[in-house]
Chains A and B, each alone.
Chain A
Amino acid sequence: MLVEDLLRELAPQVVGVLTRRFGDFTAAEDAVQEALLAATVQWPQEGVPGNPRGWLIQVAQRRMTEEVRSEQARRRREDQVARQQPADRRVAPAADTVDAAGQDDTLTLLFLCCHPALSPASALALTLRSVGGLTTAEIARAFLVPEATMGQRISRAKQRIKASGVPFRMPGPDGWAQRLDAVLHVLYLIFNEGYASSVGDDLQRVELTREAIRLTRAVHAALPEDSEVTGLLALMLLTHARSPARTGPGGELIPLAEQDRGRWDGAAIAEGIALITAALPVGPVGPYQVQAAIAAVHDEAATAEQTDWPQILALYGVLERISENPVVSLNRVVATAMVHGPQAGLAALDALPSDPRLTGHHRVTVVRAHLLEMAGDRAGAAELFRAASRATASLPERHHLAIRAARLADPGP
């Protein structure tokens, strides 16, 4: 195992242990970051210690003790640590003592970092740092913002958590579902950020998609019975499996229908399909499971022509009833056209209830252009693709839509 991967796996456990021990998440998180940096420098040169987790706990704890001491000297508050520690922790345990709760700490930390009191951007950053064990510099690079900005975002998020007085423990049964939703949403956002911006191959950037999958695996391992967690993991695997075929040699986007399916990751697809097949019959069906089921239907088709569109249409119907996202309705319109023909699709598009989130959105123009193209109106479709390409704020998408317009303008063979 690479040192980097080992550190990312251990980071949340160590933060958890120290937060429990000192009762101060903010300070624990800082100390662990320093311990991780020390390990990043020392381990590759001196070898990984026999008990890497104990090593990190020891270094971070020393760091925290120093912090506390200087604090005490400054403020004469000798009893602060003592007061924050339960009586049985007055004597420091050996560094390699395994906390009974150590394995659940990843989850507890996730609940803390994805707290509803934080904005999504803050929750994403804090999760990647505290649970993912990424450095501020890596997170900054992943989101293409200056390191100082990201550092500020993370420290403000930590202050917010401190101020809100959220205890470091699992939420109780009353808030459980809502809090788990928040965790899954943050993981989904991390994945999406990685997926949407993974055009091009900047090796300097942490792959957020892989990171999101890794964290979701950890949640799935802790909550194997939760079918929405399973659904989210399946959705990520089934989507990420197409990555190798998603961009062409020049970095241009290749739509699903035109991808070389031989380049899809078969192992990821098999795992995703097994997960969603097991999850669907269990418990309530939520939006992540339905989206994973849709992704599975796409991935199961050996060619675009063999796609089981009637099944996808039915699944979008289910998804529309249980989700709040108007883009789902647009996808249902496309599926309608694939099953019942472009005229039915256009009728369904015109029948969509007006939603301010969709008004003037270029995705609506793209769907209409796609339906016109299916209906054989090449000129009309080209004009709309062109309009949509001028309206999007995504450069890869702008190019992709311009290319689609150009193809239609081409008289062709």
Chain B
Amino acid sequence: MKYMLLMQFSAATVDFPTIDTWTPEEIQAHIAFMRDTNTKLAAAGELVDAQGLAMPETAKIVRSHSGGTPVVTEGPFPETKEWVAGWWIVDCEPSERAVEIAAAVSAAPGPGGAPLNMPIEVRQVMSAPTEEL
């Protein structure tokens, strides 16, 4: 089964300071942890994809209805309550394993090396119908 692990931040769910206010050593430890996590997932044959997104400041919102010129709104959006920072797609069995991976990611080191306890949303990627149908 494939699962998407969404790293979604919001003012309400995150109680740590933004990464650009940490010490250089704390940032380096965080980078090394993430890299190591991806290396391990790839070595285990579970990693499908891992991507980080550019900050919401650089986002655009596009709306269009047929026949009209698309309306493009440039970020940052003050009303943004939450934003997706990135995702992993893992292919693993059983579903508990996806939770285990999400838990490992959630505990990435932050200020003082303490686990960040980030909320990671685990969503199954929809697939072809199962044979029983």
Interface residues of A (CB under 8 A from B): 200, 202, 204, 248-252, 385-386, 389-393, 395, 399, 401-403, 405-407, 409-410
Contacts and interface: CB of A to CB of B under 8 A. Distances in A.
Nearest to B32: A250
Contacts of A392: 54
Nearest to A409: B21
A386 B54 CA distance: 14
Interface in B36-83: 42, 52, 54-55, 57-58
A409 B24 CA distance: 10
Contact of A407 (B24, B31, B55, B58): B24
Interface string B22-33: 111011110110
Contacts of B19: 399, 402
Contacts, number: 54
Interface of B: 19-24, 26-29, 31-32, 35, 42, 52, 54-55, 57-58
Nearest to A403: B24
Do most interface residues of chain B lie in helix, strand or loop, or is the interface mixed?
A: helix
Contacts of B28: 248, 250, 252, 403
B22 A406 contact: yes
A391 B29 contact: no
Contacts of A409: 21
Contacts of A251: 31-32, 35
A63 to B, nearest CB: 33
B23 A390 contact: no
Given A249-B32, A250-B32, A402 B27 contact: yes
A403 B32 contact: no
Contact of B20 (A200, A390, A393): A390
A356 to B, nearest CB: 15
A393 B58 contact: yes
